[in-house]
A and B are shown apart, each in its own frame.
Chain A
């Protein structure tokens, strides 16, 4: 007996429709059903943060959400951060410049977490950034440059706002 549902949702501004098993997690849906493998799956029980995506602008663990729960919702994944022409988001650009990634496995989740932070707060303190990334485990322990990158991106976002 397989329980399935028809599912329709938007991921990175594109609409997708699939029939899926109700026990499928959103993380597995993104990776296996629609091929968005940028979202990484680490622990599959909500501890590591690698699978973090934005649902209606809010960060959450996609391994702890069923795909059916995202029906009708707006999802953003790491693939949706850069512009269509490939221009990196200010946060991604800052990660690039400050070498804020080593192996990179945790980074999709880290970027989504910090994208949410910067959307609400463009003057985060170092302490606020550190507290926010407690939910993302980086086993290269590259946190210092992740923090530097976030501060740099915040500064550029503030400057951009002044220019505009």
Chain B
């Protein structure tokens, strides 16, 4: 089993990648290869031109720009998992990464690859939705910024044009005392999640919730931010009753169904995982405020 023939390109600059994308039809970009390579081995994808991003300068790395944590598209998942900066500013990402494939796949897999592939259950896609992340694209026509909601257009589909590549994603960290949690249900650790939920909360000095975000993967083709549930948490003193109320709102959302998992089961998981995520996020917020 091997991929069908293609012409291989290994450019070293973003400009060269943009040129190649302009020049060639049926070209695919190869990032970490943990999804594209299996699809090519199965010949589900048969590009005429394969443009390898692994030797491109300036596409990998984590840096703080102003109040934004910026991830180069070719930053390996494993490097994000081990980053002290991410641990400090965006710990929910590391909790989510534990569920992304396995160490061997995270060593190669990249954040940009996960975002462009846009699997409905992908954890890094969920975390980007949770943060209202900004995606930076480049092409010969110039640079472009897209909000996550503009970028994620549907089932494994993103808004990049055929001549564009993803260069980076920016997430804005929450205040240092925020509480966070990522929980999911999968058949086995490292499998595709059936449903995954991330939650972040910030409490004011009286202990009431002043900011809350939830992102639910596995219900729809892209992560859902349940506006009613988020709004219902604001100004409330954390309690099992208010977690239950938010979870009940999530339970009312529509859900996909397939040959393995019914919509009703996904809704059930959305509800109970929302409760667990909020409970853990609030507990963490208390802990982090004490320190």
Residues of A at the B interface (CB closer than 8 Å) are 1-3, 5, 21-25, 28, 44-47, 49, 52, 58-61, 63-66, 68-69, 113, 116-117, 131-132, 134-135
Contact = CB atoms under 8 A, between A and B. Distances in A.
A58 B78 contact: yes
A25 B104 contact: no
Interface stretch (B35-43, B152-160, B238-246, B264-272): B35-43
Contacts of A24: 2
Contacts of A3: 5-8
Nearest to B191: A134
A59 B101 CA distance: 13
Contacts of A69: 33, 52, 54
B107 interface: yes
B101 A68 contact: no
Given A64-B33, A65-B108, A132 B5 contact: no
B87 interface: no
Contacts of B149: none
B103 to A, nearest CB: 6
Interface string B15-39: 0000000000000000001100110
Top 7 A-B residue pairs of the complex, sorted by shortest distance between their CB atoms: A135-B102, A22-B8, A45-B38, A64-B37, A58-B107, A44-B1, A59-B104
B253 interface: no
Given A22-B8, A64-B108, A135 B37 contact: no
B39 to A, nearest CB: 8
B256 interface: no
Contacts of B107: 58-60
Q: For chain B, what secondary structure do more than half of its interface residues adopt (helix, strand, loop), or is it mixed?
A: loop
A56 to B, nearest CB: 10
Contact of A134 (B42, B50, B108, B190): B190
Interface residues of B, number: 30
Interface string B116-142: 000000000000000000000000000
B3 A23 contact: yes
A134 B189 contact: yes
Given A66-B8, A135-B190, A46 B42 contact: no
Q: Determine which residue in B52, B101, B102 has the highest number of CB atoms from chain A within 10 A of its CB, and name it.
A: B102
B2 A46 contact: no
B189 A113 contact: no
Given A45-B38, A46-B34, A135 B4 contact: no
Given A69-B54, A134-B190, A60 B104 contact: yes
Nearest to B5: A23
29 contacts: A1-B5, A2-B5, A22-B8, A23-B8, A24-B2, A44-B41, A45-B42, A46-B34, A46-B37, A59-B103, A59-B107, A60-B104, A60-B107, A60-B108, A61-B105, A63-B37, A63-B41, A64-B34, A64-B108, A65-B33, A68-B52, A69-B33, A69-B54, A113-B104, A131-B189, A132-B103, A134-B102, A134-B189, A135-B105
A5 B5 CA distance: 13
B83 to A, nearest CB: 15
Contacts of A68: 8, 10, 52
B81 to A, nearest CB: 12
B206 interface: no
Contacts of B10: 68
Contacts of B42: 45
Nearest to A41: B1
Interface string B187-200: 01110000000000
A52 B102 CA distance: 12
Contacts of B34: 46, 61, 64
B6 A23 contact: yes
B2 A28 contact: yes
Q: Determine which residue in B2, B3, B10 has the highest number of CB atoms from chain A within 10 A of its CB, and name it.
A: B2
B42 to A, nearest CB: 6
A117 B38 CA distance: 25
A23 B52 CA distance: 12
Contacts of B6: 3, 22-23
